[in-house]
Amino acid sequence: MNKSFYTRDSLIVARELLGKEIVYKDKEALIVETEAYTTNDPGSHAYKKRTKRNSVMYEEGGRLYVYLCYGMYNLMNIVTDKKGVPSAVLIRAVEPLNFEAKTNGPGLLTKALGISREHNGLEIGKEFMIKKGIKPRVVVQTTRVGLSRGSELPYRFYIKDNPYISRK
């Protein structure tokens, strides 16, 4: 995927990431569930202000934003939009293509792929790649999962009937 794919609105990118293939080291997986986080979104880490933790979200789209959740899970996001517009897409679930692991949740998939906070800010396209995969037949759009604010927004997308999604 080229840079222009990522430098668009996170809602568009979140939907279009479904079916794309992640390639990292020797592992390949299909993206089957995502959640968008937009600029004026109360669920976003960048909602109130720029901090050291969320500063990668202010970079130009096409980088990884990896953060620690609940003190134990690394969660991987794809930074989207133009530089200075803080938005990202959380990768919630992937379908393993050439390995076996539990990947039906954002903390599980990063563990299976070997993604850690050391990858925060990594540019997509060199060490970590996203390639064209399949075109999903049916995409479901629904509300996000596990948020205290902004959970009512329909910013979650998944491939219908895929057994690897985190929840329906």
* Whether 30 contacts 90, CB under 8 Å: no
CATH code, domain with 133: 3.10.300.10
Asked, for residue 63, whether it belongs to a domain, the answer is yes
Running along the chain, 168 residues long, what does each successive block of 10 average in pLDDT? 93 98 97 93 71 85 90 90 94 97 96 95 94 95 78 90 90
Helix (H) or strand (E) holding 27, with range, is strand 27-37
Which pair of tokens denotes residue 118?
A: 């050391």
Please count the structural domains in the chain: 1
DSSP state of 10: H
86: Cβ contacts below 8 Å, ≥ 6 apart: 39, 44, 46, 50, 54, 57, 58
Asked, for residue 167, whether it belongs to a domain, the answer is no
